[in-house]
Amino acid sequence: DQQVKQNSPSLSVQEGRISILNCDYTNSMFDYFLWYKKYPAEGPTFLISISSIKDKNEDGRFTVFLNKSAKHLSLHIVPSQPGDSAVYFCAASNFGNEKLTFGTGTRLTIIP
Amino acid sequence: KAGVTQTPRYLIKTRGQQVTLSCSPISGHRSVSWYQQTPGQGLQFLFEYFSETQRNKGNFPGRFSGRQFSNSRSEMNVSTLELGDSALYLCASREQLGSGNTIYFGEGSWLTVV
């Protein structure tokens, strides 16, 4: 049962444009959401998070949006840079069961 | 502050053998968790330890075990290795338990079972 889904395995975006990565979840008990970025042969690097009491969180070029009614979150990267090329994972946890549940990842490629 | 440190980074084992992986969390972090990453399954939660006690466990067979020491360092062990255990094993730490505490990952230990 895949509780966190990233339906796009890959995404290509021109440098300087906006990258939008999407994530859907099914467990309504999730109350904290995170995005991680992963380069090959490295561990995931934390990017940005959002609590379920918010619908938006910004950090520099990265903004995460949460739509609780749709059980959907998205990560916006503006402007996209070549160094953003990586696999992006969304993850979720809930207060009662604090383990992170990850999506399967989206490979983002920024085209120069 | 040093990040999460995992050793060894790469190792090759034979089917039927056992393996122990080590993790040193970020200084001050008391929680350590372990994840397995495989190409087909993504990142799967193994278990989490806090103050030397296992707090949460994923859906893995009993061949996968772990422990945490008083200095918060952690080890995970896989016994009777199978080919399907070949994966990247990631250790992560956070300061405290609780949903709002961000988890930080190490670079992982690549295990190949032949």
What φ, ψ does residue B84 adopt, rounded to 5°?
A: -70, -5
Which pairing describes strands B31-38 and B64-68: parallel, antiparallel, or unpaired? unpaired
How far, CA to CA in Å, does B92 sit from each of A10, B29, B62? 26, 10, 21
pLDDT above 90 for B39 = no
CB contact under 8 A, B42 and A102: yes
What confidence category does residue A86 fall into, taking pLDDT thresholds of 50, 70 and 90?
very high
Mutation for testing the B interface, residue in A51, A98, A107 having most B CBs under 10 Å: A98
Look at residues B9, B105, B73 and name the one whose alpha carbon lies nearest to residue A46. B105
- Set of chain B residues whose Cβ sits within 8 Å of the Cβ of A32: 99-100
- Set of chain A residues whose Cβ sits within 8 Å of the Cβ of B33: 99-100
Average pLDDT over residues B69-92: 96
Number of neighbours of residue A43 by Cβ within 10 angstroms: 22
Tokens coding A26: 């099914």
What confidence category does residue B9 fall into, taking pLDDT thresholds of 50, 70 and 90?
very high
Alpha-carbon gap, residue A68 to A46, rounded angstroms: 22
Does residue B8 have a cis peptide bond before it, meaning omega lies within 30 degrees of 0? yes
pLDDT above 70 for B1 = no
Enter the DSSP assignment of B70. Answer: T
Mean pLDDT over each residue of chain B, to the nearest integer: 93
Average pLDDT over residues A23-29: 94
Residue type for position B28: G
Average pLDDT over residues A91-97: 78
Q: Where are the beta strands (DSSP E) in chain B?
A: 5-7, 10-13, 19-24, 31-38, 42-50, 53-57, 64-68, 74-78, 87-94, 104-105, 109-113
CB contact under 8 A, B102 and A46: yes
Average pLDDT over residues B39-54: 88
B67-79 b/e (C-beta count within 10 Å ≥ 16 → b):
bbeeebebbbebe
Average pLDDT over residues A78-105: 89
* Chain mean position to CA B80: 17
pLDDT of residue A99: 81
Burial class (CB in 10 A: 0-12, 13-18, 19+), B28: exposed
Chain A residue with minimum CA distance to B32: A99
Select, from the ranges A7-21, A39-53, A86-100, B100-114, the one with the highest average predicted confidence (pLDDT).
Answer: A7-21
For residue range A34-71, list pLDDT tens digits in order. 999 999 878 899 999 999 999 999 999 999 999 999 99
Which pairing describes strands A19-25 and B109-113: parallel, antiparallel, or unpaired? unpaired
Biggest CA–CA distance in chain A, Å, is 44
